[in-house]
Amino acid sequence: MVRIKRGTTSLKTRKNVLKRVKGYRFGRSTKERQAREAIAHAGNHAFAHRRKKKGDFRQLWTVRVNAALRPLGMSYSTFIDAVTKKNITINRKMLSEIAREHPETFKRIVEKVR
């Protein structure tokens, strides 16, 4: 049976692991064992935060719409309730964009909802 030496494979694996942790601080960027652990944790956080990001953006849109509504004498909850009752199908993301970039258009929407 032929003898197989595994040095090149190990080095390639190690090199790829360390390439993925480039820019990390301390031993996590230079030591293979710490690097593997860092990669595992980074992957978990990335997965969880991809889900969390959706909620964060919805929260941001809510705050923006509410901030635009207050000077017009309305609160966010009453506005959303009125929009739902009038069957106006425009989502929070678009409402926040309109409120931020086209305040006069947003004002017209609010008047229509009232």
pLDDT at 100: 95
CA of residue 3 relative to chain centroid, distance: 51
The per-residue pLDDT string of the chain (114 residues; one tens digit each, 9 = 90 and over) reads 888 888 899 999 999 999 999 999 999 999 999 999 999 999 999 999 999 999 999 999 999 999 999 999 999 999 999 999 999 899 999 999 999 999 999 999 999 998
Short-list 15, 37, 16, CA closest to 26: 37
Domain 9-113 of CATH type 1.10.8.60: no
pLDDT at 104: 95
Confirm if 47 and 78 have CB atoms less than 8 A apart. Answer: no
Which sequence spans correspond to the domains of the chain?
9-113
pLDDT at 4: 85
Confirm if 69 and 79 have CB atoms less than 8 A apart. Answer: yes
pLDDT at 25: 95
